[in-house]
């Protein structure tokens, strides 16, 4: 599978990255960056660094710095740390981002390898919406678009209604879930990701089998779990972005509903993902998950990293 990840790294983004990097069936061809957990500059720096420390050295294309219409929210430093990786200091990467802007790259890559590329978007959807605005055939040119975002029948993780990625750019999210064409769109939101709990002992186990990548995840996971502990009382975290990456190859681990969707773009429920009446574009949204199988798959593959 040829894969591009659109990402705002981020602790769980890094977890997703090391799954994709190690998977023998995934050809990770590029990373595109978005703001959200961190600023766009930190997202790009972190993406470059992940590529260097893993040896993957995927090209990195920097994306848009702010949402389409709303004022940007501050980075979620209280969730992911000041620069995205908890208290871990990564230093300066040796490489730079590519000159091409992320949405231009996405449009070009999808056109040049029509039907071959899976795009997994695990941050705010600004780059993906801009790609659709530039090329109405963008989603149809992909093999599939898999998104981490939204909360359909469960509460939000930013206030009562919204999930963080959709809340950061609700207009972009609405454009994407209503994208023209018949290309496959899969949404993996809080309805399933909040059912999957990764424990401190799971990070410890990863560090044992993977002393470089796994130990890095163990270290940055501490800050992330500390945040969760203030919300849930448990030293653990939810598997948001890793679940979306796993759904790219293993949709059979989830129960999907096919439905038309929209995203509320103003008012009290801004960022809320809702079912939309009428015809038109439908997405596949994950409403159930085999959490045990997904966790086992994550540990098995991430454990292949050095
Ligand atoms: C999403 O928001 C970010 O904090 C995570 O990286 C994930 O993409 C979860 O709501
Ligand atoms: Ca993310």
For ligand 1, atom 10, which residue shows the shortest CA distance?
164
Atom number of ligand 1 nearest to Cα 157: 10
Shortest-distance atom of ligand 1 to CA 238:
9
Domains and their CATH numbers in the chain: 2-302 (3.90.245.10)
On the CB side of 6, CA atoms within 13 Å amount to: 30
- State which of 19, 33, 35, 37 you would mutate to test the pocket of ligand 1, scoring each by most atoms of that ligand within 8 A of its C-beta: 37
What's the DSSP call for residue 28? E
How many Å lie between the centroid of ligand 1 and the Cα of residue 141? 26
d(CA 85, CA 224): 9
What's the pLDDT score for residue 11?
A: 98
Q: Which residues pair with 246 in a beta bridge?
A: none
Compute and round to an integer the Cα radius of gyration of the chain.
Answer: 17
Q: Write phi, then psi, for 199 (nearest 5 degrees).
A: -100, 165
Which numbered atom of ligand 1 lies nearest the CA of 76?
4
Q: What is the pLDDT of residue 279?
A: 83
| Per-residue tokens: 171 | 């207009």
The CA 180 to ligand 2 mean position distance, Å, reads 25
- Interatomic CA distance for residues 110 and 114, integer angstroms: 5
Task: Report the C-alpha gap between 9 and 40 in whole angstroms.
Answer: 10
Protein residues with CB under 6 Å of any ligand 1 atom: 10, 12-13, 37, 76, 79, 122-123, 148, 157, 163-165, 240-241
Give the per-residue pLDDT at 278: 84
Q: Which ligand is nearest to the CA of 33?
A: 2
Query: Which ligand has an atom closest to residue 168 CA?
Result: 1
Give the span between the Cα atoms of 133 and 103, in whole angstroms: 10
Catalytic residues: 8, 240
Query: How far is 122 from 14, CA to CA, in rounded Å?
Result: 11
Residues less than 5 Å from ion ligand 2, measured at CB: 8, 10, 13, 122-123, 241
pLDDT, residue 215, reads 98
**CA-based diameter of the chain, in Å?**
52
- pLDDT at residue 17 in the model: 98
What is the distance in A from the centroid of ligand 2 to the CA of 304? Answer: 22
Query: Residue 298: CB partners within 8 Å, gap ≥ 6?
Result: 15, 19, 198, 239, 242, 246
Ligand 2 centroid–CA 106 distance in Å is 18
Looking at the CA of residue 80, tell me the nearest atom of ligand 1.
4
Per the CB < 8 A criterion, the answer to whether 150 and 166 are in contact is yes
Give the pairing type, strands 254-259 and 283-289.
antiparallel
Which pLDDT belongs to residue 18?
98
The pLDDT assigned to 91 comes to 87
Tokens standing for residue 56: 């993957």
10 Å Cβ neighbour count for 71? 6
- Token reading at 102: 């992320």
- CA 220 to ligand 1 center in whole angstroms: 15
Triad 45, 50, 52: Cα angle to 5°: 95
**Residue-wise pLDDT tens for the chain (306 aa)?**
999 999 999 999 999 999 999 999 999 999 999 999 999 999 999 999 999 999 999 999 999 999 999 999 999 999 999 999 999 999 899 999 999 999 999 999 999 999 999 999 999 999 999 999 999 999 999 999 999 999 999 999 999 999 999 999 999 999 999 999 999 999 999 999 999 999 999 999 999 999 999 999 999 999 999 999 999 999 999 999 999 999 999 999 999 999 999 999 999 999 999 999 988 899 999 999 999 999 999 999 999 999
Provide the pairing of β-strand 2-7 with 117-121: parallel
Reference 31, options 45, 23, 22; nearest CA is: 45
User: CA-CA distance, 78 to 58, in Å (whole number)?
Assistant: 28
Give the predicted TM-score (pTM) of the model: 0.98
């Amino acid at each position: 599978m040829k894969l591009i990840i659109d990402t705002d790294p981020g602790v769980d983004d890094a977890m997703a990255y090391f799954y994709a990097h190690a998977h023998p069936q995934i050809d990770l061809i590029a990373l595109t960056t978005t703001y959200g957990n961190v600023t766009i500059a930190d997202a790009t720096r972190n993406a470059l660094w992940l590529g260097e420390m893993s040896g993957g050295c995927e090209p990195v294309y920097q994306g848009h710095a702010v949402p389409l219409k709303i004022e940007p929210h501050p980075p979620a430093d209280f969730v992911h740390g000041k620069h995205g990786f908890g208290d871990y200091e990564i230093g300066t990467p040796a490489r730079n981002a590519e000159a091409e802007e992320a949405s231009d790259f996405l449009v070009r890559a999808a056109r040049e390898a029509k039907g071959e590329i899976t795009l997994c978007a695990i941050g705010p959807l600004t780059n993906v919406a801009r790609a659709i605005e530039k090329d109405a055939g963008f989603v149809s040119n992909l093999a599939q678009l898999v998104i981490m975002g939204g909360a359909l029948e469960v509460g939000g993780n930013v206030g009562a209604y919204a999930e963080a990625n959709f809340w950061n750019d609700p207009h972009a999210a609405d454009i994407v879930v209503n994208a023209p064409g018949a290309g496959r769109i899969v949404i993996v939101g809080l309805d399933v990701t909040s059912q999957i709990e990764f424990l401190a002992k799971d990070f410890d186990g990863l560090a044992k089998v993977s002393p470089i990548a796994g130990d890095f995840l163990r270290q940055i996971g501490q800050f992330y779990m500390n945040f969760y502990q203030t919300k849930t009382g448990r030293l653990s975290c939810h598997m948001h972005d890793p679940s979306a990456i796993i759904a790219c190859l293993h949709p059979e681990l989830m129960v999907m509903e096919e439905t038309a969707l929209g995203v509320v773009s103003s008012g009290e429920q801004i960022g809320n993902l809702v079912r939309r009446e009428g015809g038109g574009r439908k997405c596949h949204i994950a409403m159930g998950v085999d959490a045990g199988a997904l966790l086992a798959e994550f540990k098995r593959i991430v454990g292949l990293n050095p």
